[in-house]
Structures are given as C-alpha cells and as structure tokens.
Structure 1
C-alpha cells in the first residue's frame, strides 16, 4: 500500500511539474512581431511582410505591431499618405503605433493622429518591452 501511495505521489508531482512547461511551449508557438520605422513609405514593404508572415505562420501568427517614430512622424497625420496603409493594416490585423516622444519633439498635435493609430509615450521603450515579451523585432 505504501509503495502504491509513493508511486502515485511521484506521478502526480511529475504531471503537475510538466504543466507550466507545456503552457510555455504552447505560448512559444505563437509568432509575434514588432517593427520600428522612421519613414511612412516603409509601411508598404512592412505590411507586405506582415501579409506573407500571416500566410506562412497560419494559426501560429500572433500579433504584429509597427512603431512609427522620428523626425517624419508628422506624415502620419497626412490622410493622403496614410489612408491606404491604415486600410491594409486593419485588414491584416496589424497595429500601427505612434511614438509620443517623437510627436512631442516634432510638435505634432496628437488630435491629428488618426484614431486607428495607437499612441505610446516612448516608442523605443515600447519596442524593448515587446521584445522582453518574446516579440521578434526589426528596426528600419
């Protein structure tokens, strides 16, 4: 009886100790991406890349975010430059993100930023935070 109890205890401990590893393994199967760019025209190849990765990754495609920062940040307020990119990003489920530090530094009114573009206070910090969460990162 003691032997059965010991073996049962060991099996239960082994099963419960494997659960966190399985949860981490499942999460690792999801591919998340973040791209930091300084130029709005680069959104075209970035969104093409997102589209291809979404097809390639299939069910493992997770989150894709594009952080826009730098001296050309005002371009995001120009509907002529942004409409097609915003539409394609929404279609693909890509989140466009504006760097608040850049908006402030280059005097861009946050009210002029399209509603579909998320604003974060510091795009570089936000990029590092996503990398710490396991996002694959690229800066252009």
Structure 2
C-alpha cells in the first residue's frame, strides 16, 4: 500500500514536470514584452525600442504591450501630448493599454480615450498576468 501511494505521487509529479517543461519550451519561440509607464512622452523611446527589437529578433519578436498608469493618465486624451504615438505604435506592432483604475481614480472621461487604446480594469494586475505568461517586463 505504501509503495503504491509513493509510486502514484512520483508519477503525478513527473507528469506535472513534463507539462511545465513543454510549456516553457513553447514560450521560448517568441519574445513578448510589456512596459509599464506613467508618462506619455516615454512612448517615444519605448516605441523605438520595440522597433529595434523587432528588427533584431525577426520572427522571434512576439507581442509588445505598453500599459499607461498613474496620475498623468489623462494625457492620453490630450491630442497635442499624444501626437502621433498611436500611429507610430501601430506601425511598430506596439499595443497601448490604459489602466482603468487610474482613469477612475483621476477622473478621466473614458469616452475621450482614443479608440485604438485598449482599457483594462487594473493595469498593474494586467502586467503581472502577462509576466505569468512569460512576458519580459520593465516599469518606467
């Protein structure tokens, strides 16, 4: 009975280890990135970085997301401050995400957020979820 129980536990642990190893191997085929920022002007160097990584990595370049959070979140509704960042981001394959929690906290009208910017409920949580999926992450 004791041997049967130990063998069963060993078998289950082995199966979980194999599944985890296979998942890690699949994630290594592409490089995905997420950047958490608090300032719209930082989009310029972030987009340049994405372009450089895309050129360097070729087919290994995966998804690149930028999450904007914090007290300056209202700047995303300012056409002058946003300039052509949305256009440049699109060309570079960069997805711009707005933190819904920050929008609420700093009383930014969601209807004024550009349509091409996705809004998530909680930008920090979203960042952690992407990291759990294997995204490389940096906060500025």
TM over 0.5: same fold? yes
5+ long unaligned stretches in structure 1: 1-17
Aligned partner of 1:73 in structure 2 is 73
Aligned partner of 2:59 in structure 1 is 59
Tell me by how many angstroms 1:20 deviates: 8.5
Tell me by how many angstroms 1:22 deviates: 5.8
Tell me by how many angstroms 1:80 deviates: 1.4
Aligned partner of 1:40 in structure 2 is 40
RMSD of aligned C-alpha atoms?
1.6
For residues 23 and 104 of structure 1, the distance between their equivalents in structure 2, rounded to whole angstroms, comes to 37
TM-score of the pair, normalised by structure 1: 0.83
Tell me by how many angstroms 1:25 deviates: 2.1
For residues 77 and 115 of structure 1, the distance between their equivalents in structure 2, rounded to whole angstroms, comes to 10
Aligned length: 123
Aligned partner of 2:13 in structure 1 is none
> Over residues 49-89 of structure 1, what are the superposed CA-to-partner deviations in whole Å (9 max), with x where a residue is unaligned?
00000011100000000000000000000111213100100
Contact map agreement 2:27 2:134 (CA 8 A) in 1: no
For residues 105 and 19 of structure 2, the distance between their equivalents in structure 1, rounded to whole angstroms, comes to 47
TM-score of the pair, normalised by structure 2: 0.83
Q: Does 1:111 align with 2:111?
A: yes
Say which one has the larger Rg.
1
| Deviating more after overlay: 92-101 vs 75-84 | 75-84
For residues 102 and 19 of structure 1, the distance between their equivalents in structure 2, rounded to whole angstroms, comes to 37
Aligned partner of 2:138 in structure 1 is 138
For residues 20 and 40 of structure 2, the distance between their equivalents in structure 1, rounded to whole angstroms, comes to 41
